[in-house]
Every structure is written in C-alpha cells, then in structure tokens.
Amino acid sequence: MSRIQARFGALRESGRCALVTFVTAGDPQPAVTLPLMRALVGAGADIIELGVPFSDPMADGPVIQRGNERALVHGVTLDDVFDLVARFRIEDQDTPVVLMGYLNPIEAKGYAATAERAREAGVDGFIVVDMPPEEAAELHACLRGQGLDLIFLLAPTSDEARIRSVCALASGFVYYVSLKGVTGAGNLDADAVARKVAQIKGITDLPVGVGFGIRDAASAARISRVSDAVVVGSALVSRVAEQAAAPQRIPAHVAALVCAMRAAMDEAG
C-alpha cells in the first residue's frame, strides 16, 4: 500500500478530511524548504505538495508565479527537489509527498529516469498540470512501474466522459479544480463544489481533493464537509512572500495558518 493510500485510509477510519498543503521548493531560498515541510506536518498537514519551480507556470496565478521566480533565482531544479525530499525522508517516513509542476523538466530528464529517481528519493506521486490523459501513457507506465501515483486534474467544465477517462488512469487521488481560472482566483461556491464532487465520486472510488480558491480556515472548513481532501496553495505561498526578507520566520508564519485550517476542518466534522 502506498503512503497516499495509507494516509487516506487512516483519515477515512477516523472520519477526518485530508489537508494537503502546497509550497514551492526553494522559495524564497532553498534552505527554507526543509524546515517549512517539517513545520507543515507539525501544524497538521496530511500530504505535502511540493512545487517544482518552472519558468512558465501557466495554471498558476501571480502569487505562485512569483514563488517560482523566487526559487528560480537560486537555480532550483527537479534534481534539487528530489534531494530535498530525500533529506525530508531521513526524519519522516510517513507523510506523503507529491511533486506538482509542469512537463518540461520531466521530459528533459526522461520519464524513466524521473520515475526511478523519484522513488529513490521517497516521492509518492506527481501532478503534471499540462499532461492530459490522452498523452500520459508512457509517463503513467514509468511512474506505476516504480509504485508512484499520477494524479490528474478535473475542472468545473469536465463532463462525465472526461471524468471517466481521467479516473480510469488516475491513482492516489483525483484533484478537482474548483474554479475556472488560475490558482488563487475567484470565490468558492461550496454548493457547486459539492455537486461536482458527488458526480466524480459516483464514477470513481478514488479520494477527491478540492483545490484553488481556499484561502482561510472558513473556506477550508466548508470544503472539508464535501470532499476527501482540502488543497491549499496560494494562501500559504502568500505567507512565504510576506516573510521573504526574514526567512527564519517563514515556517512558523505559514504553520499558523495551517493550524487554523486544520482546527476549523476538524470542528466542521
């Protein structure tokens, strides 16, 4: 059983919703990422999404774009991200880590080499934003061959046929993008999210996580009532940016928001 499966199974047994936290590796400098990952876990994160810095993050809004830029100033690469995860695994063998990013760095390294290095480092899965299922067969085979999950995105515009095609290939969990637009945009309609999540769960047994537009404890609590996982990114990267000039403060500053979200989600039941 993978770490992702084990984590969702344990949460299901305890009646809790997963909190999935996103930060960009190397933002605002590489030395911050490892203590930040540890702080996220301590604050109640169940799964860590670690962004692989990329020069053209087309699905991301200005907040995460700037986080990518701050990391790229230091030349952070996909191999550097693998090294960070390997160091995280020295102390934490249980928390799932999913790499989120874009196809170019993976293609440059090669699918087989990426999958092998990811497994060695202790990565559990990938979200490749610009990899549609129609083009994912080779990458999917390489990742599954190493026991890694390939997690796909669904959108408000995804019809039943699209949901079925995505869920047929997905593993780990399904990521429902709750808004039309980029990360950090718009306002959540919890009722609309609930209807779409119900449709997706009628098609797959995979857990369904909801992300984009979850900004605070109240919105995390609302979404936790209708999903298996709440995914928060831009709100955390904003907190990283607020303390970029004082990086030693970043882990505690970000963890405070995660603690508030976790508490609100648990209270929501």
- Residues carrying an active site annotation: 49, 60
Question: Is 101 in contact with 139 (CB distance < 8 Å)?
Answer: no
H-helix segments, 2-77: 3-14, 30-43, 62-72
Residue whose structure tokens are 């203590």: 35
How far is 51 from 68, CA to CA, in rounded Å? 8
Question: Is 1 in contact with 29 (CB distance < 8 Å)?
Answer: no
Short-list 84, 4, 19, CA closest to 51? 84
Residue whose structure tokens are 């993978």: 2
How far is 26 from 143, CA to CA, in rounded Å? 24
Q: DSSP letter at 156?
A: T
Identify the three-state secondary structure at position 251. Answer: helix
